[in-house]
C-alpha cells in the first residue's frame, strides 16, 4: 500500500534529475567517487531536500511543481519519515478501532464491541506498509523527484554529501536551494539513558505488550499511547512532572483527558520526577519488543515504581546534530532562529516550529512555492502571514484546539471574552453517545469580535475544529459566524450554542451588515 497520508502524484514533468547542465558543476557523474570535492559534484539538482518525511516530500514536490526544475530527496531510512511508519499513521490506526469500541460501551442499541488485539496490530502493520517504502518511492518517481538513498550532510554552500549504506559517497550540488527537513528525535532524560527504554517508536510499533508499563510524560504522545497500551491490556502508570496533563492546552482539556484515562484504569501520578532508573538486563531486542528485564524507577520524592517496560514521552528535539551545519559556519541555534543564508531553508520538525505533520507540510508548501517562484522568476505566491496551527489529541475524549488559549491571550494583554458550553449542549453532540464528556470554548477579541482561539473536548471533537481554523484564518467576526448555519442535528451546531453564550453586542450588533475586515 502506498503511504495513505500522501496525496496522489501531481502532474509535473518527468525531469532529467541527474542534469549537470550548469557548466560550473558539470563534472561527469560518478556514482561512487569516494571523495567529497566542492568543485566536482556527482549530480546537480535545482533543489536538494535533506530528509524524506512528509514535510521533505511536500517541499520537494512544491519546489518543482509545474516547472522544469529538478529536485532530489536525500533519505537515510524509510521514505515517508517518522509520520508514516512510527508516529501519526500507526498511532491513529491503533486508536480508531479503540475509539469505536469505546463508543459502543456508551451507546444502547448496539452490542458492546470487544477489541481483537491481533487484528488491531495487523491493521497497524498494514497502515505502516509493513515498514516498506516502495509505495512512497513510486510516488516520488511519479512526481519527478530523484531519490538519493543515504545520510546527507552539508559540505559547503549548496553542496551535500550523501553517505550510502554500502559506504559509497556522492556529492550533490544544488543550483538554487537546499532544504533541511530532517525531522526530530525523542529526547531521553539522563537518568533513563542506560536502560533501553521504549520511545514512541516502540509504542506505535508494539509487538509485545508489557504487563506493567510506566509512561513518563503527560503530553500528547504520552496520553495517546496510554490509551492504546491500556486497551491492549497493559497496566499503565503515567508519571507526570507537573500537576496536569496536556499542560499547553486549556486546563479543562487536561482534566477531561485525565478523567477519561482514569476511567479505563490508567493510574496518573502527578509531581513525579524520575531521578534514578535501574534495569539489570537492558537489551535492544527490537522495535516494540520488551527491552529486557524489569525496571525500577525512583522519583525525586523517594517514591518507587516497578515496571516491565518504560515508555519515555518527554518531548522531541529537532534532528540537526549531524547535518553538516558547521561546514557553512552555522549551528542549530541559527536554524531554529531562522538566521539562514538565502539558499538554505528549514521546514518541519527540524525547523523548531510546531512539530505536527500538517503544519510542517503547510510550511513546506509555502517554502517550496517560494523557491520555485524565485528560481523561475515568477511572481512570489500569495501567503497568509499568521495562519494558526490546529492540533488534535486522539484520546477519549478527543481534544481539538487552535489559536490562543484564554490564558495565552490574556497574558499578551488582549481584552478577551470567552464562551463555554458542555460538549453535549447541541442535539448533534448529545446524540453521539448517551454520556457525553467534555466541553467546548471559544476565545474572542472583545474589540474586534474576531476569534482568537477555540478548544473542543469531547467525542469526535477532531472534526469540529476546522470551522475555527477557517474563521481565524479568514478573520471572520463572530457576528458573521452566527449566520453560518449548521445543519440540525449535527455536532457543528455546537458553534451556535457557543456563539449564543457571547455578550449580545458581540454576536448580534445593531447597524449595517458586518463585513470581515481585510488583512
Ligand atoms: C507518536 C507520535 C504521534 C504523532 N501523531 C501525529 C498526528 O497524529 N498528527 C500530526 O500532525 N503529527 C503527529 N506527530 C508529529 C509528526 O510525526 C511530525 O511532526 C512529523 O513526522 C514531522 O515530519 P518531518 O518530515 O519534519 O520529519 P520526519 O517525519 O521525522 O522525517 C524526517 C526524515 O528525515 C530523515 N533524515 C533525518 N536526517 C537525515 C539525514 N541527515 N540524511 C538523510 N535523511 C535524514 C529521517 O530518516 C526521516 O525519514 C506525531 C509524533 C509522534 C512521535
Specify the pLDDT at position 38: 52
How many angstroms separate the CA atoms of 323 and 50, rounded? Answer: 8
What's the pTM? 0.92
For the stretch 48-71, pLDDT in tens is: 999 999 999 999 999 999 999 999
- The number of the ligand 1 atom at minimal distance from the alpha carbon of 322 is 41
Q: Is the CB of 221 inside a 6 Å radius of any atom of ligand 1?
A: yes
Q: Give me the DSSP letters along 58-70.
A: HHHHHHHTTSS--
Instruction: Using the mean position of ligand 1's atoms as its centre, give its distance from the Cα of residue 516 in Å.
Output: 37
Mean pLDDT of 18-47: 53
Three-class secondary structure assignment of 104-167: HHCCCCCCCCCCCHHHHHHHHHHHCHHHCCHHHHHHHHHCCEEEEECEEEEEECCEEEEECCCC
Pocket test for ligand 1, best of 49, 61, 83 (most atoms within 8 A of CB): 83
Instruction: Using the mean position of ligand 1's atoms as its centre, give its distance from the Cα of residue 61 in Å.
Output: 17
Specify the pLDDT at position 339: 97
Specify the pLDDT at position 4: 35
**pLDDT band (50, 70, 90) for residue 13:** very low
**pLDDT band (50, 70, 90) for residue 513:** low
- The number of the ligand 1 atom at minimal distance from the alpha carbon of 359 is 11
Q: Is the CB of 51 inside a 6 Å radius of any atom of ligand 1?
A: yes
**pLDDT band (50, 70, 90) for residue 35:** very low
112 pLDDT more than 80: yes
How many angstroms separate the CA atoms of 282 and 430, rounded? Answer: 49
- The number of the ligand 1 atom at minimal distance from the alpha carbon of 204 is 1
Pocket test for ligand 1, best of 88, 181, 336 (most atoms within 8 A of CB): 88
What is the chain's mean pLDDT, rounded?
A: 92
In degrees rounded to 5, what are phi and psi of residue 69? -70, 160
Ligand 1 atom 15, closest CA: 356
Pocket test for ligand 1, best of 6, 82, 94, 155 (most atoms within 8 A of CB): 82
Q: Is the CB of 149 inside a 6 Å radius of any atom of ligand 1?
A: no
Specify the pLDDT at position 507: 87
Q: Is the CB of 355 inside a 6 Å radius of any atom of ligand 1?
A: yes
- The number of the ligand 1 atom at minimal distance from the alpha carbon of 185 is 30
CB 421 within 8 A of CB 497: yes
How many angstroms separate the CA atoms of 32 and 244, rounded? Answer: 54
Instruction: Please list, in sequence order, all residues whose beta carbon lies within 8 angstroms of the beta carbon of residue 344, skipping any fewer than 6 positions away.
Output: 177, 178, 179, 180, 328
3-state secondary structure of 268: strand
For the stretch 487-512, pLDDT in tens is: 999 999 999 999 999 999 998 877 76
Closest to 463 in 3D by CA, of 497, 490, 425: 490
**pLDDT band (50, 70, 90) for residue 155:** very high
How many angstroms separate the CA atoms of 326 and 212, rounded? Answer: 44
Q: Is the CB of 95 inside a 6 Å radius of any atom of ligand 1?
A: no
77 pLDDT more than 80: yes
For the stretch 118-147, pLDDT in tens is: 999 999 999 999 999 999 999 999 999 999
Q: Is the CB of 77 inside a 6 Å radius of any atom of ligand 1?
A: yes
H-helix segments, 273-354: 332-337
Q: Is the CB of 360 inside a 6 Å radius of any atom of ligand 1?
A: yes
Mean pLDDT of 475-498: 97
Residue 306: enclosing H or E segment and its boundaries? Answer: strand 304-307
Pocket test for ligand 1, best of 77, 183, 223, 465 (most atoms within 8 A of CB): 183
For the stretch 442-466, pLDDT in tens is: 999 999 999 999 999 999 999 999 9
Q: Is the CB of 358 inside a 6 Å radius of any atom of ligand 1?
A: yes
Distances from the Cα of 70 to the Cα of 20, 85, 93, 174, 341, angstroms: 11, 27, 35, 10, 21
Instruction: Using the mean position of ligand 1's atoms as its centre, give its distance from the Cα of residue 137 in Å.
Output: 17
Instruction: Please list, in sequence order, all residues whose beta carbon lies within 8 angstroms of the beta carbon of residue 425, skipping any fewer than 6 positions away.
Output: 440, 494, 497
429 pLDDT more than 70: yes
For the stretch 252-290, pLDDT in tens is: 999 999 999 999 999 999 999 999 999 999 999 999 999
For the stretch 170-198, pLDDT in tens is: 999 999 999 999 999 999 999 999 999 99
Ligand 1 atom 27, closest CA: 183
Ligand 1 atom 17, closest CA: 83
Specify the pLDDT at position 1: 31
- The number of the ligand 1 atom at minimal distance from the alpha carbon of 357 is 11
14 pLDDT more than 50: no
Instruction: Using the mean position of ligand 1's atoms as its centre, give its distance from the Cα of residue 311 in Å.
Output: 18
Instruction: Using the mean position of ligand 1's atoms as its centre, give its distance from the Cα of residue 183 in Å.
Output: 5
Specify the pLDDT at position 39: 66
How many angstroms separate the CA atoms of 417 and 419, rounded? Answer: 7
Distances from the Cα of 296 to the Cα of 212, 217, 233, 283, 363, angstroms: 12, 17, 21, 15, 43
Instruction: Using the mean position of ligand 1's atoms as its centre, give its distance from the Cα of residue 409 in Å.
Output: 30
**pLDDT band (50, 70, 90) for residue 40:** confident
Pocket test for ligand 1, best of 5, 53, 353 (most atoms within 8 A of CB): 53
User: What's the distance, CA 263 to chain centroid?
Assistant: 27
Closest to 230 in 3D by CA, of 254, 253, 206: 206
Question: What count of Cα atoms within 13 Å lies in the side-chain half-sphere of residue 316?
Answer: 26
User: What's the distance, CA 106 to chain centroid?
Assistant: 30
27 pLDDT more than 70: no
CB 207 within 8 A of CB 77: no
Closest to 320 in 3D by CA, of 334, 306, 301, 308: 334
Ligand 1 atom 35, closest CA: 51
Go through the domains of the chain in sequence order and give each one's CATH number. 1-80+133-186+315-378 (3.50.50.60), 188-314 (3.50.50.60), 397-504 (3.30.390.30)
**pLDDT band (50, 70, 90) for residue 15:** very low
Amino acid at each position: 500500500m502506498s503511504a495513505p497520508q500522501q496525496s496522489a502524484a501531481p502532474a509535473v514533468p518527468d525531469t532529467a534529475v541527474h542534469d549537470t547542465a550548469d557548466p560550473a558543476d558539470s563534472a561527469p557523474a560518478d556514482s561512487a567517487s569516494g571523495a567529497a570535492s566542492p568543485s566536482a559534484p556527482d549530480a546537480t539538482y535545482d533543489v536538494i531536500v535533506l530528509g524524506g518525511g512528509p514535510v521533505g516530500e511536500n517541499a520537494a514536490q512544491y519546489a518543482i511543481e509545474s516547472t522544469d526544475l529538478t529536485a532530489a530527496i536525500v533519505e537515510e531510512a524509510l521514505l515517508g519519515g517518522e509520520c508514516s511508519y512510527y508516529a501519526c499513521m500507526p498511532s491513529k490506526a491503533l486508536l480508531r478501532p479503540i475509539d469505536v469500541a469505546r463508543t459502543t460501551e456508551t451507546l444502547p442499541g448496539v452490542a458492546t464491541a470487544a477489541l481483537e488485539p491481533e487484528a488491531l496490530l495487523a491493521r497497524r502493520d498494514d497502515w505502516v506498509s509493513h515498514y516498506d517504502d516502495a509505495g512512497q518511492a513510486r510516488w516520488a518517481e511519479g512526481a519527478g523527484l530523484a531519490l538519493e538513498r543515504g545520510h546527507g550532510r552539508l559540505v559547503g554552500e549548496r553542496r551535500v554529501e550523501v553517505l550510502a549504506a554500502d559506504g559509497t559517497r556522492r556529492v550533490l550540488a544544488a543550483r538554487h536551494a537546499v532544504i533541511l527537513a530532517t525531522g526530530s528525535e525523542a529526547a531521553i532524560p539522563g537518568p533513563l539513558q542506560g536502560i533501553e527504554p521504549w520511545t514512541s517508536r516502540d509504542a506505535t510499533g508494539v509487538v509485545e505488550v508489557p504487563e506493567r508499563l510506566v509512561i513518563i510524560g503527560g503530553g500528547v504522545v504520552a496520553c495517546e499511547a496510554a490509551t492504546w497500551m491500556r486497551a491492549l491490556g497493559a497496566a499503565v502508570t503515567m508519571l507526570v512532572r507537573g500537576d496536569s496533563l496536556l499542560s499547553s492546552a486549556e486546563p479543562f482539556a487536561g482534566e477531561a483527558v485525565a478523567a477519561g484515562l482514569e476511567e479505563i484504569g490508567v493510574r496518573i501520578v502527578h509531581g513525579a520526577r524520575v531521578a534514578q532508573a535501574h534495569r539489570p538486563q537492558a537489551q535492544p531486542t527490537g522495535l516494540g519488543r520488551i527491552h529486557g528485564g524489569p525496571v525500577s524507577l525512583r522519583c525525586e520524592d523517594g517514591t518507587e515504581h516497578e515496571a516491565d517496560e518504560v515508555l519515555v514521552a518527554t518531548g522531541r528535539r529537532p534532528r540537526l546534530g549531524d547535518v553538516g551545519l558547521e561546514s557553512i559556519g552555522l549551528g542549530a541555534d541559527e536554524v531554529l532562529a531562522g538566521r539562514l543564508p538565502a539558499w538554505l531553508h528549514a521546514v518541519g520538525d527540524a525547523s523548531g516550529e510546531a512539530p505536527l505533520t500538517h503544519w510542517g507540510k503547510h510550511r513546506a508548501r509555502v517554502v517550496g512555492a517560494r523557491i520555485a517562484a524565485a528560481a523561475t522568476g515568477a511572481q512570489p505566491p500569495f501567503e497568509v502571514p499568521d495562519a494558526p496551527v490546529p492540533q488534535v489529541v486522539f484520546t477519549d475524549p478527543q481534544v481539538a484546539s487552535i489559536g490562543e488559549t484564554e490564558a495565552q491571550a490574556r497574558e499578551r494583554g488582549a481584552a478577551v471574552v470567552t464562551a463555554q458550553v458542555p460538549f453535549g449542549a447541541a442535539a448533534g453532540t448529545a446524540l453521539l453517545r448517551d454520556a457525553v464528556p467534555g466541553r467546548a470554548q471559544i476565545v474572542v477579541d472583545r474589540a474586534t469580535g474576531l476569534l482568537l482561539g477555540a478548544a473542543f473536548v469531547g467525542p469526535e471533537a477532531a472534526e469540529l475544529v476546522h470551522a475555527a481554523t477557517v474563521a481565524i484564518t479568514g478573520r471572520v467576526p463572530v457576528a458573521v459566524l452566527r449566520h453560518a448555519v449548521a445543519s440540525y442535528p449535527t455536532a457543528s451546531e455546537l458553534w451556535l450554542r457557543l456563539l449564543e453564550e457571547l455578550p449580545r453586542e458581540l454576536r448580534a450588533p445593531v447597524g449595517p451588515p458586518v463585513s470581515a475586515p481585510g488583512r
